[in-house]
Amino acid sequence: KYIVYGHTHQCETTPLEASYADGFALQQIYFNTGTWRRVYQTTRWQPAGHEFIPTETMSYLSFFAGDERGGRPFECWSGTLGALTPAASVHRLDVGRASHASPESVPTSNVPIARPHFASTPAAARASAAQRR
């Protein structure tokens, strides 16, 4: 019914098969709980640039029997926290490349400052959107 694995550093839930036999739903699901450790993921902008960003990841997987948890058979929670990184000097092992990030700040005087969308009522949000058009 369930296949559980871990230690690959990538949390994953994959439905494998949904079949029916004798009036019962037979659902097969693969769970990979990943890791509870710091993970260094390569940046997507220039993967060949050997740049990594650390995060703290954690996943919880629980299975329930019978009427536990309102009859739900399992629960899986995953989270990612930004890692606390001490200030460190960079020591390159290769020649490196110019950074794609500009050292200059971007002027924001033309950027309108608005409160978050969830801080207003739906009617106020619609009125605000209509004014911007």
Residue 26: strand pairing partners? 19
Q: Which tokens is 63 given? A: 């299975």
pTM, rounded to two decimals: 0.53
pLDDT, one tens digit for every residue, the chain (133 residues): 888 988 788 888 999 988 888 888 788 999 998 887 888 888 888 777 778 888 888 888 999 998 899 989 999 998 888 888 766 666 677 776 666 666 676 666 666 666 655 555 556 656 666 666 6
Q: Is 58 exposed, middle or buried (0-12, 13-18, 19+ CB in 10 A)?
A: middle
Would you mind telling me the total number of residues written for the chain in this entry? Answer: 133
